[in-house]
Structures are given as C-alpha cells and as structure tokens.
Amino acid sequence: SSGLHDSFARVPRTPPLSALGFVALSPTFGLRDLARMNPRAALPLLDVRVPEVYDRLDSISAHDFLTRIRFPEAAHHLAFEVFSRSFFADPRELSAAELVLMFHIYFLGSSEGLLFDVPDEPFPTALWDPLQRYLAGHGVDVRTRTPVRQVRPLPDGGLDVTTDDRTTRYDALVLALDSGGLRRVVGASPELGDAEWRAGIERLRTAPPFLVSRLWLDRPVAYDRPGFLGTSGFGPLDNVSVLDRWEGEAARWARRTRGSVVELHAYAVAPDADRGAVQAEALRQLHRIYPETQSARIVDERHEWRADCPMFPVGGYRDRPGVRSPDPAVMVAGDMVRTGLPVALMERAATSGFLAANALLERWGVRGQTLWTVPRAGRSAALRRLAALGAD
C-alpha cells in the first residue's frame, strides 16, 4: 500500500543468483538497508537442511527471525509477509523454520524459482474429474461426500472403516485429511496408534479462517494487470487474481461478455470477524488497487469461507505426524505431515501421498514411485561454508 511494487518474474532462476537477484532488483533493499542488516543472523538462510532447520528455527517466529536479521521493514511487508501469509498465518505465530524452508525452495534450492505451472481449466475439469474416471476404470470405488467416522484395527492386521452407512474391512489405509479431520477421526478411534502419536495429533492446530471471493464483472480490468498480484497493507486483502488471464473457462466468459473474472483472497481472518464486513472490505481494497473496477457492475459473485488449513505454530513441528503411523497398515498424508524433504503445503501434500503409497506397496513387494526433490541442503559449497560460521 506504500506504492512499492516488485516482481519475481525478473529474478534470475539459477541459484544462488536467484537470491542475489532478489535483493539487487527489489526496491526494498537500498544500500543503507543492506548496511544495517545483521549478516551473521542471516547465515542460516544459506544452507537450509531438512530436518535440521526445525531443530534450529522452530522455536522462534518468522517475524522475530526477520527482526533478528534486521531485514528492511519494507521487505517484511512486500516479500516475506506475503510468503508467511500464504501459510494462512500471521508471521508472529508462524514457525521461522517454515519461512526459511520456503526461502530455500524458491531461491537457493530450485531452478524453478517462484514461477508456477497452473492448470488452464478449472481443477475439476483439468484434474479431479479425469482422475476419478481413471481410478474408476481400474476398479476403484470413489465415494465423495462420505465422512469417515471411525477406524478400528483388527487382530489379523486389517482395519474396519466406518462411515455413516456401513463398516467395511480394508487391508491398508491412508489418512489423507486436514488437521481437524485427522483429529476427529483419531479421537473417535481409541484403538488406533499409540498414546504418544495420538497426543501429538490432538495438539495439531488449524489456521484461522480464510475467504475466497470470485467476482464476475461486466467490464475488463486494465489490460496490463497481472494474472496474480500478492498484496500487503490493504486490510484483509492478501492477493488478487485476474482469472481470465490464464483460466480457459473464465477467459471464454470474459470474451463472450466483454467482462472479467476476478478472485480475491483474505487469509488469517479473525475467527470472530463479521464475514460480510470482511467481504465488503476486500472489495473496497480491490477498488483501491485496480481503480477501474470501482465502476464495474458485479454480474455474479461467490464467497467461500474455509478453515481447513494446518497451522505451523512456533514449536509445533514435534507434534506433526510422519507418514508412517504406529500401525504398519495405516499411513498419514497431507500438508501438515513431516516428510524429511524440503517441500511446502501443496507440494508436501502430494509428496506425502506418494510416500504413503510407497510405504504400503513395500508390504506387498511392489516398487513404488520414484520421487525427485530440491536438494536437502544448500547447493553452493561456498554458501554452505559461510552458513557454518553462523552455527559456531
């Protein structure tokens, strides 16, 4: 909201030039700012190792870690707060280990940088419906909108899984649930796992609610607006997407009506907030950022509220389950699961799913999926030696 504007598209994609380019090209890092920084406190960024990063930095918040480094205040808002709020959390509550891991993935570990592949059609069309058809073609019974109420281990190593209308025996199970769903199922399944595992799951937290508002407007936004814009300092509004820039369904509607489709996200909303007021304020902030939308008529709108993302609080890493549970027939997957790999959120959910499947396939002597990952440690030997100075 101060007027600063940055783009990761211009940052070099080759580590460590990606990190150096981020600092050099960002308007938030002036020579005076760089002189004020505490380079020794920043050294852990240069050699992020998993899981050691959690041993070193899970005990402090992302906000306090950046304060210790003396990052410029503008950089706090323009870059790192946008990062931390993408975890659906206030940076004062988010573990510094997660923020630093994200820095490693995007700037020092991966040549992809902050560029993403996205589907060019809505997820049901591009991914979920074709996947369901593929699974059904292999004999899978896909049952959506079917809550699992309880899991009971059986003496022969199998499992009874109870839903609202039946109890069915299975040979193996993957609990791929959000934090709240995992707590509920494990809480209702007293014979599942052991006391320590169950206690850790009971302590898992869910991040505050978030809002996704999609607006169909009767006129286009300005032609030079980016497809995605992260924001800071605009009240509850965290980012704006112009969906007709990259999603086929929205693009066809926009061409047909000469309108546009805009999506607004608001993360880490206070649980007791007036939801109607948050929606109205997010729209008002859109008008500040893209003034041409102020005169647009809203043809249709959808507002989705959810509170199903994991919270990664300070000191919470030890409570998160690993892929393997105490029961060899039960695995856990999801974006809160410990994998031992440098992955975040969506990537962690997908990676843990593969790891869970691989672990179960081992029981039948079947080879699973080979997984590729960004390095588990810093890629540059020179930067690793520098980082070692900060550990002394």
Across the chain, mean pLDDT equals: 90
Predicted pLDDT of residue 384:
78
Predicted model pTM: 0.90
Predicted pLDDT of residue 78:
66
Helix ranges, the chain (H): 17-25, 31-36, 39-42, 52-57, 62-69, 73-75, 81-85, 96-103, 123, 129-137, 179-187, 195-202, 248-257, 275-289, 346-362, 381-391
Q: Does the bond joining 190 to the residue before it have cis omega, within 30 degrees of 0?
A: no
Residue 353 in this model has a pLDDT that exceeds 80: yes
- Residue 84's CB: how many other CB atoms inside 10 A? 28
Rg, Å, the chain Cα set: 23
Instruction: Name the band, by pLDDT with cuts 50, 70 and 90, for residue 129.
Output: very high
Max avg pLDDT among 37-41, 69-73, 141-145, 196-200 = 196-200
What integer is the mean pLDDT of 354-377? 93
Predicted pLDDT of residue 44:
81
Domains along the chain? 8-115+378-391 (no CATH), 143-205+319-362 (3.50.50.60), 210-306 (3.90.660.10)
298 backbone dihedrals φ, ψ, rounded to 5°: -85, 110
Instruction: Name the band, by pLDDT with cuts 50, 70 and 90, for residue 281.
Output: very high
Residue 113 in this model has a pLDDT that exceeds 70: no
- Length, in residues, of the chain: 392
Question: Tell me: the pLDDT tens digits for 266-277?
Answer: 999 999 999 999
Helix ranges, 70-128 (H): 73-75, 81-85, 96-103, 123
DSSP for 303-335, please give it: EEEE--SBP-BTT-GGGS-BSB-SSTTEEEEST
Pairing of strands 330-333, 173-176: parallel
Max avg pLDDT among 82-86, 95-99, 291-295 = 291-295
Q: Which two tokens stand for residue 358?
A: 């691989």
Instruction: Name the band, by pLDDT with cuts 50, 70 and 90, for residue 233.
Output: confident
Residue 30: which H helix or E strand, with range?
none
